[in-house]
A and B are shown apart, each in its own frame.
Chain A
Amino acid sequence: MNIKMMGRFIAQIIAIEAAFMLPALAISLGCGEWPGVKAFGITVGIMVLLSAGMFLLCRRAGRLFGAKEGFVCVALSWIVMSLLGALPLVLCGQVPHYIDALFEIVSGFTTTGASVISDVEGLFRGMLYWRSFTHWVGGMGVLVFLLAVLPTGNGAGFTMHLLRAESPGPDVGKLVPKMRQTALILYVIYIVLTIINVIFLLAGGMHWLHALCTAFGTAGTGGFGTFNTSLADVSPYLQNATTVFMFLFGINFSCFYLLLMGKLRSVLKDEELRLYIGMFVACVIGIVLSVRPLYGTLAETIRHAAFQVSSVMTTTGFSTTDFDLWPSFAKGILLMLMVVGACAGSTGGGLKCIRVLLLFKVLGRNIRQILTPRKVLVVRSNGKVVDEKVLANTNAYFAAYMIILVLSTLVLSLDGFSVETNLSAALATFNNIGPGIGAVGPTCNFAAFSDLSKVTMCLTMLAGRLEIFPLLVLFSRSTWTRK
């Protein structure tokens, strides 16, 4: 285990986080929110000292850096980032309990959007900005950002391990030969799409801070709202614009890259994208049929159905209506969408469409194999044969997914809420969605859970964002024993 090298990475991550906090500090200054200024100032100071100290300690690092170090490094840096990121909320006094603040910030970085704060509109503007900005940073990944800005990977091939560990999807690859270029392309697409989103929101008459925060929540598929009612009270135009942008950020970013390269045909033929679009359309139709009596006009029904489907499917978690009041068939569709999630290589969470697709294909293959044991059957995706290793990993991922889901539901049950609440809370945090149904529905929040449940949910949120394995590797004994 190359601890010094990891220390250097984490020191750099802390430095970047400090830099990311400066705009929030500036907003606090501009608005004259002195507790906010104090909180951000102290935190930035701590981070700078910590980062410098770690950097000094880890001056002479070896070059050996393998898949194990990559996983541990990613998991550790996300934990450190969250621990430090929670400090301003405590220091300014608005969220006095540290576990609550940690839950809020983990929920931010993992793009979950589950909140413990009931009066969002009462937050300092700097805090509001910081909370939403963590979505944006966490969406694409801070290590990917590090890869894009720092020439750390000079000559060494280990950066691939970092990208693999942080980017969602069963088969992560580079877009171009150079890692730095790949990370840069991803961030440029991300930034440009976010800016377009902000422009659309500003055009709808939204206040600049709200537009910025909403765009951050949409881009990272996070879902922290800036109003107590999420997006229920904004104009239909803003709701529709957000529906479209949530949907866009749930698409694999390499599709956008292929589009830029002019390869429209291969994008349209992409099986995962087809499944994603198909499911969106089918679920909107299903929900419209189910909730039609609850709303006035058909257009309004479609608007709410499309918004909720887009929000849950991409694991964003904004809401325009209290879907907890919907009939159980519509809620069932939403629960199913929570599990499926968005496309691999997007900022969304969940199982990912491609994994669901592969799981179904493997299932079909195995059934056919039972009927014709001698036949040699391969699983194809987009016409290409999927490696058996990827299939085995997908199966293992699904097994780990189910185990964590069941265990976290069990821990949450200790608090005595209904089964529906516990299951949907586990789903909503593990899949990085935000609101669930029942006592954690879109109009409620997670404040009522015990500290144990909150810490558990922090861990499942991180597990969901980092796709389980980095966190399991971190807590596995064989990682820390010398062989």
Chain B
Amino acid sequence: MNIIIAGAGKVGKVLVRQLTAEGHDLTIIDRDNQVLESLVVKHDAIGVQGNCASKAVLEQAGVQNADLVIAATNADEVNLLCCLTAHGINPNIHTIARIRDPEYTEQIMTMRQTFPLSLTVNPEKLAAMEIERLLKFPGFLRRESFAKGRSQIVELRIDGKSKLKNVALTDMSNVVKCRVLVCAVLRGGQAVAPSGNFVLQEGDRIFVTAPTSTLAVLLKNLDITTRRVRRVLLCGGGRVSFYLAGLLEKDRISVQLLEKDRSRCLALAEALPETAVVQGDCSNQSILDDQGIDQCDAVISLTGLDETNMIVSLYAANRGVGQTITKLSREESIRIANTMNLGSIISPKELCSNVIVRYVRAMQNQTGAAVSVHAIADGQAEAVEFKVEAGTPNCDVPLKELKLKQDVLIAGIVHGMQSEVPNGDSRFVPGDRVVVVTGRRGMLQQLGDIFA
């Protein structure tokens, strides 16, 4: 597809990487020539320098023949105008705009109806919603839902006390006393597709597929406490903090928010009546102690600096905080963070680009296409959900008789309301939903692609 990406910021760059890897033809518009140059050299795309909301620049970028324009500059208004202009030139174009100003969130649905916007994304709000989900299910580092929430892939860390330490995967169901499937393991920053005799070690992060109904059993048998989170400390008062505090206020969780800047503090205190806004630098550990960090059920580090976030989370874990969530923006930081015991890691731009990539895939292939795509194991693998249709090959054939491509695993089958962890005798029929995990990103466009 011909895709125009307007604005090569954080989200823009991730999108360029992911979409070129999937073989799309990309045109990047940005004001900064140097940024463009470095992107064009690194990825197979072309760049146009200029204002993405200008008609001339858009025409130069080939908007007449483009299928999709993604506006991700740092100004919401420019993004909106860019999409409007593009749609004016080419009425068949799909448009995605990043709209992230909290003042616009309430009108986002009317904006989608009034303006020709196919999709709007808000990285900070997505991150906040993701963190809220994590807080509601403490014990998992991450959690991805499939088939309208009926099947899940959760991430667990094997620490020194874990019951799963030194257990081979074939024996795992005896330990957890329920049927689950380990679909990927991250060991030393490297994703592994495990076989039955794979033995889990301390420090591994495992990705487990299970029907939603068995998650509670899994947690209970692993002795992971699921104490409800009551008190949360947010470090840093950026947009993610703002959205998150709003969501947590609604969940009746007590929120403390630490922010350095006085005027930002006042603005937050104005907008968040239930949140205790405290002025202070969260990189200062005595301030964290003053705020009773050891009394918190969860500490979430959301400052603009990855290093500060990592330190705060480490300190919190050190003080015995049950759950820590760290926001990281740079890819280098994420790689380093994986070698430490940092708890859950959130990357707003990754979440945002996942949503966009999902949309692009759905657009590209109307029948048999992936319903949703989730990046797991630090982006080294992905879980793709498909709907089985009448024309899908190998329907109603037991899985043991199928020849699948290398690096492909059928991780779950959902028949109507029933979710199943598949074995050799399982089979799928039209109408089912199938979750497939693969180590190669962007390889699977439709369910037929999994067969060798």
Contact = CB atoms under 8 A, between A and B. Distances in A.
Interface residues of B, number: 14
Given A374-B287, A374-B290, A380 B273 contact: yes
A374 to B, nearest CB: 5
Interface in A372-406: 372, 374-378, 380, 383, 385
B277 A376 contact: yes
A152 B272 CA distance: 44
Contact of A376 (B273, B278, B287, B290): B278
A218 to B, nearest CB: 39
A378 B279 contact: no
A377 to B, nearest CB: 7
Nearest to B277: A376
B269 interface: yes
Interface in B252-276: 262, 265-266, 268-270, 273, 276
A383 B290 CA distance: 29
B263 to A, nearest CB: 10
A374 B266 contact: no
B280 interface: yes
B400 to A, nearest CB: 63
B130 to A, nearest CB: 27
Contacts of B287: 374
Contacts of A385: 269-270
Contacts of B269: 376-378, 385
A383 B273 CA distance: 8
Contacts of B262: 376
A380 B266 CA distance: 12
B276 A375 contact: yes
Identify the interface centre among A374, A376, A378, A385: most chain B CB within 10 Å of its CB. Answer: A376
A303 to B, nearest CB: 42
A385 to B, nearest CB: 5
B308 to A, nearest CB: 18
Contacts of A374: 278-280, 287, 290
Contacts of B266: 376, 378
A376 B273 CA distance: 11
A467 B287 CA distance: 45
Contacts of A372: 276, 278
Contacts of A383: 273
Contacts of B280: 374
Interface in B272-326: 273, 276-280, 287, 290
B278 A378 contact: no
A376 B277 CA distance: 5
A478 B295 CA distance: 56
Contacts of B270: 378, 385
B231 to A, nearest CB: 15
Interface in A207-260: none
Nearest to A377: B269
Nearest to A384: B270
A283 B422 CA distance: 73
Contacts of A377: 269
Contacts of B279: 374-376
Interface in A358-378: 372, 374-378
Contacts of B278: 372, 374-376
Contacts of A376: 262, 265-266, 268-269, 277-279
A319 to B, nearest CB: 43
Interface string A184-198: 000000000000000
A374 B266 CA distance: 12
A383 B280 CA distance: 26
Nearest to A368: B276
A379 to B, nearest CB: 10
A372 B290 CA distance: 10
A380 B269 CA distance: 10
Contacts of B268: 376
Interface string B197-236: 0000000000000000000000000000000000000000
Given A374-B279, A380-B273, 12 more contacts: A374-B278, A374-B280, A374-B287, A375-B276, A375-B278, A375-B279, A376-B262, A376-B269, A377-B269, A378-B269, A383-B273, A385-B270
10 contacts: A374-B290, A375-B277, A375-B278, A375-B279, A376-B262, A376-B265, A376-B269, A376-B277, A380-B273, A385-B269
**Which 9 pairs show the lowest CB-CB distances between chains A and B?**
A376-B265, A376-B277, A385-B270, A376-B269, A378-B269, A374-B278, A375-B278, A374-B280, A376-B279
